[in-house]
Amino acid sequence: MNFWHFMVHNRRQVLDLTGEHLWLVGASIFLAVLVGIPLGILVTRVPRLNKVVLGSANIIQTIPSLALFGFLLPAPWIGERADRLAILALMLYALLPLIRNTYTGIRGVDPAVVEAGRGMGMTDRQLLFQVELPLALGVILAGIRVATVLCVGLATIAAAIGAGGLGEFIFRGLSMVNNDVILAGAVPAALLAILADWSLGWLERRLSPQ
């Protein structure tokens, strides 16, 4: 297989681009977790924010990714560096699954458990960290898993605006009309997505209570 030969011959570049791809995905998921989980918790505490928060995240999701990249290009500071822009855009896409799963995960905790905890004098903070979050962890991790797989895919499009990553092989291969180069980007990207799904799924099962 010619493409395999290409991969071996250019393994350094394949590693480089894979590394760039992982950085894009890793940074955006990290930020999305930092923002999304607290937002999800907030919505469980202040239910009337439900519409605003989930609604906004929903709207962002419906914007086609390339269009969102386009919107952000003229922005000061963000638009100056393609990888910065890509990370922000990917983070925005990762928000909906994270906020929504945090919300449903916490709401899904057995109300009897929460009532017992509250009735015995646990503070809201203690309830959140000792009861609700641990019991919602499985669902939250499912949200992280969905968001990660989503970002691995979207990051390939980020190469179109110069953010690097495995998508760059795809675009360059298209320019060169060279299938091996296209596959050198497409195959690792697909494998990354599968690996992320599998490994986070394993983690999800491990950390889910019962």
Partner 1 sequence: MSLRPVCCTLILLLLFPGCASSRKDRVVVGCKNFTEQLILGEIIAQQLEAKTHLEVDRRFYLAGTFIAHQAIVGGRVDIYPEYTGTSLTAVLKHQPGGDRQQVYDAVRNGYLQKFHLDLGPPFGFNDTFAIEIRGADARQLSLKTISQAAAYTPKWRAGFGYEFMERPDGYKGLVQAYGLRFAEDPRIMDLGLLTRALKDRQVDLIAGNTTDGLIPALDLFVLEDDRHYFPPYEAVPVIRKETLDLHPEIGPALKELAGCISDAEMQALNYSVDGQHRDVEVVAREFLQKKGLVR
Partner 2 sequence: MQNGLAIEFRDASFGLPGSPEMVRGLTLAIPRGEMLILLGRSGSGKTTSLKLINRLLTPTGGEVRVENRATTEWDEIKLRRGIGYVIQEAGLFPHFTIERNIALVPKIEGWDGDKIRARVTELMGLVGLSAEVAKRYPRALSGGQRQRVGVARALAADPPILLMDEPFAALDPITRAELQKEFLQLQQRLRKTVVFVTHDFREALLLADRIALMDSGKLVALHTPKEFLESNNQFVRAYREAFSNDFVADLKAQRRKEVV
Which residues between 92 and 131 bind partner 2 (CB under 8 A)? 110, 112-123, 126, 130-131
d(CA 32, CA 94): 6
Residue that is written with structure tokens 């980020």 in the block: 158
Q: Which does 48 bind (CB under 5 to 8 A by kind): partner 2, partner 1, none?
A: none
- Chain centroid to Cα 199, Å, comes to 14
Least separation, in Å, of the C-beta of 118 and partner 2? Answer: 7
**Cα dihedral angle (95, 96, 101, 102), rounded to 10 degrees?**
50
| Contact assessment for residue 106 and residue 143, using Cβ atoms and an 8 Å cutoff | no
164 contact choice in partner 1, partner 2, none (CB below 5 to 8 Å, kind-dependent): partner 1
Please, are residues 69 and 158 in contact by the beta-carbon 8 Å criterion? Answer: yes
Cβ 128 to partner 2 shortest distance, Å: 13
Residue (76 or 121) nearer to partner 2, CB? 121
- Using CB under 8 A as the criterion, which residues of the chain lie in contact with partner 1 when the complex forms? 12-13, 15-16, 18-20, 22-23, 25-27, 29-30, 81-83, 134, 137, 141, 160-164, 168, 171-172, 175-176, 199, 203, 206-207
CB of 30 to partner 1, least distance (A): 6
Shortest distance in whole angstroms from residue 34 CB to partner 2: 24
CB of 144 to partner 1, least distance (A): 8
Q: Locate all alpha helices (DSSP H) within 63-121, ordered by sequence.
A: 65-72, 82-107, 111-119
Both tokens assigned to 92: 């925005």
- Selection from partner 1, partner 2, none that 117 binds (CB < 5 to 8 A by kind) is partner 2
Rounded to whole angstroms, how far apart are CA atoms 175 and 169?
A: 10
* Contact status, residue 162 vs residue 82, Cβ threshold 8 Å: yes
In degrees, to the nearest 5, what angle opens at C-alpha 181 toward C-alphas 10 and 28? 85
Partner whose footprint covers residue 139, from partner 2, partner 1, none (CB < 5 to 8 Å by kind): none
Residues within the interface to partner 2 (CB under 8 A) = 110, 112-123, 126, 130-131, 134-135, 209-210
